[in-house]
């Protein structure tokens, strides 16, 4: 019998092809193919099935993403099959239970989770996401307290269920107080939690942590501020010896004068990227700008924040740190940033707007990030109030507060900027407004959204005036296009699961 060309491929080469196809199909860490690649390969022919079933690595990635109630029982059988066929291979497990509810669903969800526990020594990635309706994810913390996961590197748990501490209890110890895996050191590099998971005690140790993501979870209306951790926990994350990226969305930390602060500057020697958004308190941002030394820091993203002039006792850096600037700093992203002007007493003869700005984090932000070569300033707000300064763009030349950029009381605002990205409604700041040219004399690349009839790009003659040669390029994104930035294994560009990326979409 004549063999088809594909049947002549050596089994060793087929194994390599299968492994590459499998890796490619799971290259996005949050999706599940309708027909998993390993299943498709195992039903082509007897030889392919034999190869697939004898390759444990092909069955080492299991994803259960938003199954229907009807599919839960088959998912349980599929998981058992994967756990068996993967043999002793390290495994990646991802569960997304959003949309499930009711007693029967919760029972099967609990079975799914608990069936993985005998294999916890093989876990290298564990993701569990819920909207809080399944009633099963929160209690899953209990068995994790007494088990060890020595190979676990990636943890993403978002329970989506407000942890009622009055009914379920809540420890008030001032530190992170690890409550998982016997509180022993493990290999976790990537940790993503919502506040609900943290309050439900999904808290491992931080010594090996490289990436930390924290997001505000749901809560009762009266507790929407979401503050659930003492400020010392934020300091502990900053102090983790291997930390490289930090992302905080929501009001999760607050500082009160009764809480002690470190006596010296925090040395975040490996930190490269910092994101801070949707927070009503300035304490973490001011602490970061005033008390953290980060020699490798490359970028800061501040998003959906009101830079308040509400003074804090932590607002003053140490004397030997007053002139500090992050030495490796390159990119500053200011997205939907307001400048809130609360009531202040202004001495006679002092411009009240200047006095207000000096009380905000803006001077310190300008000081520590003054080496930035890329600057993004964007907002989708369309109006200005009478009692405050709602747009950060008002600090730029050409607006009513433009003189602040030249105020002797303020540090020079990003004098090294070469790439400038601007994105505003035309009624706020038109794309062809070049009043910033004198302030940022080194800018030679301007990034703008696609031109429209009511918001055209600048005239080429205006861009070349004064001997400048400014190139205009299309703006592809307002901030980072993936997180963590760079070539990290766990990086994602999925806007549906990253609130920062979702809120920077055009």
Q: Is the pLDDT of residue 223 over 60?
A: no
DSSP 8-state class, residue 373? S
pLDDT at 315: 56
Residues 348, 351, 352, 358, Cα dihedral to 10°: -110
For residue 222, being part of any structural domain is answered with: no
pLDDT at 85: 92
Model confidence pLDDT, tens digit, residues 123-157? 999 999 998 887 888 889 889 988 999 999 999 99
How far apart, in whole angstroms, are the C-alpha atoms of residue 436 and residue 467? Answer: 15
For residue 15, being part of any structural domain is answered with: yes
How far apart, in whole angstroms, are the C-alpha atoms of residue 196 and residue 133? Answer: 13
For residue 162, being part of any structural domain is answered with: no
Q: Is the pLDDT of residue 310 over 60?
A: no
- The pLDDT-based confidence of 339 (bands split at 50, 70, 90) is low
Q: Give the whole-number percent of the chain exceeding pLDDT 90.
A: 34
Closest to 362 in 3D by CA, of 387, 347, 341:
341
pLDDT at 451: 92
Tokens found for residue 18:
């299968």
- The pLDDT-based confidence of 502 (bands split at 50, 70, 90) is confident
Q: Is the pLDDT of residue 248 over 80?
A: yes
For tokens 């994602």, what's the residue? 492
* Domain of residue 22, residue span: 11-59
Question: Across-strand partners of 146?
Answer: none
The residue among 170 and 60 whose pLDDT is bigger is: 60
Q: Where are the alpha helices (DSSP H) in 163-277?
A: 165-168, 195-199, 231-238
pLDDT at 222: 37
Model confidence pLDDT, tens digit, residues 5-21? 676 778 888 888 888 88
- The pLDDT-based confidence of 214 (bands split at 50, 70, 90) is very high
| Candidate from 22-31, 79-88, 460-469, 473-482 with smallest mean pLDDT | 22-31
The structural domain count of the chain equals 1
In angstroms, the Cα distances linking 335 to 214, 297, 385, 393, 479 are 19, 19, 19, 10, 8
- The pLDDT-based confidence of 337 (bands split at 50, 70, 90) is confident
For residue 50, being part of any structural domain is answered with: yes
pLDDT at 92: 93
| Candidate from 331-335, 393-397, 416-420 with smallest mean pLDDT | 393-397
pLDDT at 309: 53
pLDDT at 413: 83
How far apart, in whole angstroms, are the C-alpha atoms of residue 77 and residue 39? Answer: 14
Strands (E), 310-382: 331-338, 374-378
pLDDT at 331: 97
- The pLDDT-based confidence of 102 (bands split at 50, 70, 90) is confident
pLDDT at 157: 93
How far apart, in whole angstroms, are the C-alpha atoms of residue 163 and residue 486? Answer: 34
Model confidence pLDDT, tens digit, residues 29-60? 666 777 888 888 888 888 888 888 888 998 99
How far apart, in whole angstroms, are the C-alpha atoms of residue 371 and residue 373? Answer: 6
How far apart, in whole angstroms, are the C-alpha atoms of residue 449 and residue 457? Answer: 9
For residue 22, being part of any structural domain is answered with: yes
What value does the mean pLDDT of the chain take? 81
How far apart, in whole angstroms, are the C-alpha atoms of residue 96 and residue 87? Answer: 24
pLDDT at 178: 78
Mean pLDDT value of segment 324-345: 79
Dihedral angle sign, alpha carbons of residues 499, 219, 224, 312: negative
For residue 279, being part of any structural domain is answered with: no
For residue 37, being part of any structural domain is answered with: yes
pLDDT at 149: 92
Closest to 327 in 3D by CA, of 362, 265, 371:
371
The residue among 193 and 170 whose pLDDT is bigger is: 193
Model confidence pLDDT, tens digit, residues 250-299? 877 777 666 777 777 899 999 999 999 988 777 888 889 988 999 999 99
pLDDT at 91: 95
For residue 17, being part of any structural domain is answered with: yes
pLDDT at 75: 92
Q: Is the pLDDT of residue 448 over 90?
A: yes
């Amino acid at each position: 019998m004549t063999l088809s060309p594909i049947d002549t491929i050596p089994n060793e080469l087929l194994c390599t092809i299968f492994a590459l196809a499998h890796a490619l199909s799971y290259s996005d860490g949050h999706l599940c193919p309708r027909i998993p690649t390993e299943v498709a390969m195992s039903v082509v022919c007897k030889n392919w099935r034999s190869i697939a079933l004898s390759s444990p690595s092909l069955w080492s990635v299991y994803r259960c993403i938003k199954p229907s109630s009807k599919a839960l029982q088959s998912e349980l059988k599929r998981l058992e099959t994967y756990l068996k066929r993967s043999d002793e291979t390290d495994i990646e497990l991802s569960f997304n239970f959003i949309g499930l509810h009711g007693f029967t669903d919760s029972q099967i969800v609990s079975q799914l989770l608990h069936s993985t526990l005998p294999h916890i020594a093989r876990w290298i990635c564990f993701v569990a996401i819920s909207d809080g309706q399944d009633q099963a994810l929160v209690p899953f913390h209990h068995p994790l307290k007494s088990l060890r996961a020595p190979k676990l590197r990636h943890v993403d748990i978002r329970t989506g269920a407000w942890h009622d501490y009055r009914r379920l209890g809540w420890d008030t110890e001032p530190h992170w107080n690890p409550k998982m895996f016997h509180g022993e050191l493990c290999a976790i590099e990537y940790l993503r939690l919502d506040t609900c998971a943290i309050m439900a005690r999904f808290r491992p140790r931080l010594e090996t942590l490289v990436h930390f993501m924290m997001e505000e979870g749901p809560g009762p209306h009266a507790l929407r501020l979401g503050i659930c951790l003492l400020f010392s926990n934020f300091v502990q994350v900053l102090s983790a010896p291997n930390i490289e990226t930090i992302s905080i969305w929501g009001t999760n930390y607050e500082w009160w004068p009764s809480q002690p602060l470190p006596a010296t500057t925090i040395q975040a020697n490996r930190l490269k990227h910092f994101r801070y958004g949707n927070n009503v308190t300035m304490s973490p941002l001011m602490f970061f700008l005033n008390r953290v030394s980060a020699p490798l820091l490359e970028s800061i993203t501040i998003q959906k924040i009101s830079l308040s002039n509400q003074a804090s006792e932590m607002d003053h850096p140490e004397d030997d740190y007053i002139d500090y600037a992050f030495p490796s700093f390159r990119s500053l992203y200011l997205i939907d940033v307001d400048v809130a002007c609360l009531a202040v007493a202004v001495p006679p003869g002092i411009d009240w707007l200047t006095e207000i700005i000096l009380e905000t984090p803006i001077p310190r932000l300008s000081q520590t990030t003054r080496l930035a070569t890329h600057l993004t300033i964007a907002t989708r707000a369309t109006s200005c109030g009478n009692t405050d300064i709602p747009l950060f763009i008002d600090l730029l030349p050409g607006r009513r507060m433009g003189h602040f950029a030249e105020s002797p009381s303020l540090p020079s605002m990003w004098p090294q900027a070469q790439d400038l990205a601007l994105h505003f409604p035309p009624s706020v700041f038109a794309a062809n407004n070049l009043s910033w040219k004198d302030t940022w004399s080194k800018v030679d690349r301007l990034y703008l959204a696609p031109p429209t009839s009511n918001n055209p790009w600048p005239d080429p003659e205006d861009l070349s005036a004064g001997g400048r040669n400014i190139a205009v390029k299309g703006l592809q994104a307002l901030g980072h296009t993936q997180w963590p930035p760079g070539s990290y294994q766990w990086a994602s560009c999925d806007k549906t699961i990253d609130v920062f990326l979702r809120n920077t979409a055009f």
